[in-house]
C-alpha cells in the first residue's frame, strides 16, 4: 500500500479523535464553562449535525479543486476548528468551533476515500479505503482514551491543542506525499448532481443509514447495558470499550479484504452477522464473559461493513464520486442519530436495556433487505469488485 494511504489514515485518526473525545471530557468542559452535562452533550450533537449538513456543501464548494488541493483546504479547516476549540472562551464559541471543525469531516472522508481507491489497482480499492478508515477505528482505540486522560490531567483544552498538532503533521504529510494527479478529470458539478438522479445511489445511501442506525442503536447504550445488566464496574466499562475498539479495527481490515473479493456477498453476510450477534447479546448480556465475547464479535461484524458501504455507494454513483462518497459520510451520521433515537425509544417505552440489541438486529435486517433491493435494480455500472 502506498505511503499516501498512511497519511490519509493519520488524518482520519485526528478527525475521529476530535469527534469522539468530547464525550470523555464532558464533565471537565461542563465544569469549566459552567453548563450542565446535558448542555455540554449538545456539543456532540452539534458536531454530528455539522457533518451531516455541511458535508455536501463542502463537497460542492471544493468541487473545482484538484482532490489533493481539496483535502489540503479541508484539513486546514480542521486545524482552525480545533485551534478555536482550544481557545474558546465560552460555551457558544466552543459550539461554533465544533461546527467549523465538523464542516471538513464528511467531505474529507468522502474525497479521501476516492483518493485512497485511486492509489491502488481496482481489485484492492476496498482494502485501500479500509486502511484509511483504520485511522478512524484507531481513534476509538487509542485517540479517545489517551485524549481523555490528557484532558483530565492537563485540562480539556490540552486535548484540542494536541489534536491541532496532529492535524498540522497530517497537513504537511498530505502536501508532501499525496501525488499531484495531472490526469485527474475536473469535477463537473452539474454532472455530479445529475448522477444523483439514479435510484441505486439513494438505495445505497439508505443502506448506509440503516447500517449506522443498527450499530448506534446498540453502541449508544452499551455502557448502561454493561453497568445495569451485566454488572460491569465503570473501570470495566472502559476496558470493554477498548475491546470493542479492537473489534472495530479487526472488522475494518477483514471487511476491506472481503469487499475486494465479493461486494454484495460481503454486505449481505455482514448484516446477517450483525442481526444474529445483536440478538444473541440480549441473552448473553446477563454474564460477563459471554458479553465480552459477543461485543467483540458484534464490533468486528459491524465495522466490516464500512469499507464495503463506501465502495458500494461510489459504485452506484460513478458519475459523482466526490459528492456521493461525501453524502455517504453524512448518511452515517444520520444513521447515528436515528439509531440513538430508536434505542432511547425502546428504553423509554419500558422494554428494558436487553431489548435494545433486538432493535439493533431489526435495523440490521432492514439494511440487508435494502442491499437486496439495491443490487436488484441492475441500473448501476458496478466496479469489478462486485459480483
Count the neighbouring beta carbons within 10 Å of the beta carbon of residue 254: 18
Within 13 Å and on the Cβ side, how many CA atoms surround 109?
A: 33
| Residue entry with cell 440490521 | 364
Q: Are 119 and 64 in contact (CB under 8 A)?
A: no
Q: Are 111 and 60 in contact (CB under 8 A)?
A: no
What is residue 194's predicted lDDT score, i.e. its pLDDT? 67
Give Dmax over CA atoms of the chain in angstroms: 59
Ranges of the chain with pLDDT below 50: 379-387
Domain edges within the chain: 3-183, 192-376
Q: What is the DSSP letter of 184?
A: P
How many residues are given for the chain?
387
What is residue 385's predicted lDDT score, i.e. its pLDDT? 41
What is residue 190's predicted lDDT score, i.e. its pLDDT? 67
H or E element that contains 142: none
What is residue 294's predicted lDDT score, i.e. its pLDDT? 95
What is residue 386's predicted lDDT score, i.e. its pLDDT? 44
Residue 262 has φ and ψ, to the nearest 5°, of -150, 110
The backbone region for 352, taken as left when phi is positive above 0, alpha when psi lies in -120 to 50, beta otherwise, is left
What is residue 37's predicted lDDT score, i.e. its pLDDT? 65
Q: Which of 339, 254, 353 is nearest to 305 (CA)?
A: 254
Domain 3-183 bears CATH identifier 1.20.1250.20? yes
Q: How far apart are CA 154 and CA 143, in angstroms?
A: 16
What is residue 24's predicted lDDT score, i.e. its pLDDT? 67
Q: Are 125 and 260 in contact (CB under 8 A)?
A: yes
Q: Which of 324, 354, 359, 352 is nearest to 338 (CA)?
A: 359
Task: Give residue-wise pLDDT tens across range 230-276.
Answer: 888 867 877 887 888 888 888 888 888 887 778 888 899 999 999 99
Q: Are 62 and 70 in contact (CB under 8 A)?
A: yes
Count the neighbouring beta carbons within 10 Å of the beta carbon of residue 219: 22
Fold match flag (3-183 vs 192-376): yes
Count the neighbouring beta carbons within 10 Å of the beta carbon of residue 222: 25
∠ CA 305-307-308 to the nearest 5 degrees? Answer: 60
Instruction: Say whether 108 sits in a helix, a strand or coil.
Output: helix
CATH number belonging to domain 192-376: 1.20.1250.20
CA dist list (Å): 81 to 50, 104, 322, 375: 12, 9, 23, 39
Task: Give residue-wise pLDDT tens across range 272-319.
Answer: 999 999 999 999 998 999 999 999 999 999 988 888 887 788 777 666
CA dist list (Å): 233 to 20, 228, 229, 240, 356: 22, 10, 11, 10, 20
Q: Are 113 and 126 in contact (CB under 8 A)?
A: no
> Helix 3-24 vs helix 144-154: angle between axes, to the nearest 10 degrees?
50
Residue 299, C-beta contacts closer than 8 angstroms, at least 6 positions apart:
243, 244, 245, 246, 247, 248, 251
Q: Are 85 and 138 in contact (CB under 8 A)?
A: no
Q: Which of 196, 201, 192, 215 is nearest to 334 (CA)?
A: 215
Amino acid at each position: 500500500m502506498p505511503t499516501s494511504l498512511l497519511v490519509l489514515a493519520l488524518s482520519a485518526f485526528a478527525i475521529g479523535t476530535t469527534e469522539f473525545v468530547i464525550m470523555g471530557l464532558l464533565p471537565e468542559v461542563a465544569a469549566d464553562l459552567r453548563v450542565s452535562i446535558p448542555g455540554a452533550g449538545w456539543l456532540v450533537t452539534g458536531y454530528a449535525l455539522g457533518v451531516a449538513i455541511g458535508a455536501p456543501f463542502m463537497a460542492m464548494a471544493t468541487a473545482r479543486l484538484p482532490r489533493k488541493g481539496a483535502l489540503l483546504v479541508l484539513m486546514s479547516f480542521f486545524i482552525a476548528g480545533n485551534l478555536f476549540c482550544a481557545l474558546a472562551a465560552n460555551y457558544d464559541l466552543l459550539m461554533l468551533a465544533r461546527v467549523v471543525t465538523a464542516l471538513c469531516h464528511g467531505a474529507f472522508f468522502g474525497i479521501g476515500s476516492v483518493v485512497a481507491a485511486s492509489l491502488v489497482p481496482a481489485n484492492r480499492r476496498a482494502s485501500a479505503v479500509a486502511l484509511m478508515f483504520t485511522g478512524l477505528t484507531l481513534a476509538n482505540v487509542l485517540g479517545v482514551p489517551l485524549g481523555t486522560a490528557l484532558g483530565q490531567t492537563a485540562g480539556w483544552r490540552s486535548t484540542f491543542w494536541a489534536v491541532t498538532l496532529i492535524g498540522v503533521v497530517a497537513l504537511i504529510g498530505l502536501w508532501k506525499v499525496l501525488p499531484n494527479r495531472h490526469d485527474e478529470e475536473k469535477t463537473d458539478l452539474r454532472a455530479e448532481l445529475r448522477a444523483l438522479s439514479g435510484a441505486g445511489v439513494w438505495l445505497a445511501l439508505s443502506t448506509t443509514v440503516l447500517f449506522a442506525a443498527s450499530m448506534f442503536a446498540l453502541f449508544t447504550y452499551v455502557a448502561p447495558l454493561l453497568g445495569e445488566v451485566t454488572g460491569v464496574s465503570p473501570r470495566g466499562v472502559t476496558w470493554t470499550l477498548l475491546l470493542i475498539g479492537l473489534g472495530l479495527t479487526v472488522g475494518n481490515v477483514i471487511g476491506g479484504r472481503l469487499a475486494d473479493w465479493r461486494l454484495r456477498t460481503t454486505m449481505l453476510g455482514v448484516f446477517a452477522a450483525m442481526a444474529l450477534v445483536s440478538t444473541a447479546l440480549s441473552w448473553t448480556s446477563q454474564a460477563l464473559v459471554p458479553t465480552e465475547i459477543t461485543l467483540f464479535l458484534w464490533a468486528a461484524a459491524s465495522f466490516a461493513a464500512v469499507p464495503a458501504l463506501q465502495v458500494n455507494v461510489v459504485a452506484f454513483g460513478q458519475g459523482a464520486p466526490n459528492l456521493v462518497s461525501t453524502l455517504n459520510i453524512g448518511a452515517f451520521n444520520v444513521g447515528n442519530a436515528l439509531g440513538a433515537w430508536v434505542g432511547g425509544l425502546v428504553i423509554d417505552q419500558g422494554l428494558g436495556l436487553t431489548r435494545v440489541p433486538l432493535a439493533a438486529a431489526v435495523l440490521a435486517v432492514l439494511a440487508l433487505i435494502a442491499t437486496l433491493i439495491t443490487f436488484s435494480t441492475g441500473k448501476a455500472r458496478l466496479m469489478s469488485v462486485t459480483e
